[in-house]
Amino acid sequence: MKYFFFFLLILLPLSCRKQAPQLPSNKGGEVDGQAVALLGINKTIANEEDSLLLRYVSTIDSVFEKNNAGFWYRIHKRGNGEPVQEKMLVTISYQVYLLDNNIISETTYQSVEIGKKQLPTGLEEGLKLMRKGESATFIVPWYIAYGMKGKGEIPPYTSVIFEVKLAN
């Protein structure tokens, strides 16, 4: 009996030790080779599209600037209105063209809340460069426009031009 208590006294401190955390099975150190390969392919495709847009912009006599998000823009009419910010409700009118200047959609009027992803990413990011009352042109690569699926008459993998007017 005294050995039992002695044994219990030794085991008790050892059993109170904190267990090491266990990692979930999907958090291992393995690298997904397929995901890495697809990422490389996507970067290559995006770089090719950027080169194509650079050539396109260089043929236009207007001065366009490239935004960090990847689209080209030109503000035509400067305004004194309030700058566009996240969560702001704005009313815009815009037309969509292909790079060959074929019009895809007649003028569309739309009220959107900035940041709600109601517009293609490139267009929404472009609006953030504007003030109420301004007009602009955005040349948006497919990967931040309508993507791999396209939309309506816009084919997949197609860069587009947005002619935009922002209401006061």
Residue 49 lies in a domain: no
Q: Which of 158, 144, 22, 62 is nearest to 102 (CA)?
A: 158
The answer to whether residue 133 sits within a structural domain is: yes
Q: pLDDT tens-digit profile of 34-73?
A: 888 888 888 888 889 999 999 999 988 778 999 999 999 9
Which pTM does this prediction carry? 0.75
Q: How buried is 154 (Cβ within 10 angstroms: 0-12 exposed, 13-18 middle, 19+ buried)?
A: buried
- Residue 113, domain member (yes or no): yes
Write the pLDDT tens digit of every residue in 96-125.
Answer: 999 998 999 888 899 999 999 999 999 999
* Residue 127 forms part of a structural domain: yes
Domain ranges, residue 87:
63-166
- What is the structure's pLDDT at 148? 87
- Sign of the Cα torsion 77, 82, 83, 88 reads negative
Instruction: Look at residue 41 and tell me if it is in a domain.
Output: no
Assess if residue 4 is contained within a domain.
no
∠ CA 66-153-50, nearest 5°, is: 20
Q: What is the CATH number of the domain that holds 73?
A: 3.10.50.40
Instruction: Give the angle subtended at the CA of 146 by the CAs of 145 and 151, to the nearest 5°.
Output: 145
Instruction: Give Cβ neighbours of residue 120 (< 8 Å, ≥ 6 apart).
Output: 140, 144, 145, 146
Q: Is residue 75 one of the residues assigned to a domain?
A: yes
Q: Based on the structure, what is the number of domains in the chain?
A: 1
Q: What does the pLDDT read at residue 36?
A: 85
Residue 48 domain-assigned?
Answer: no
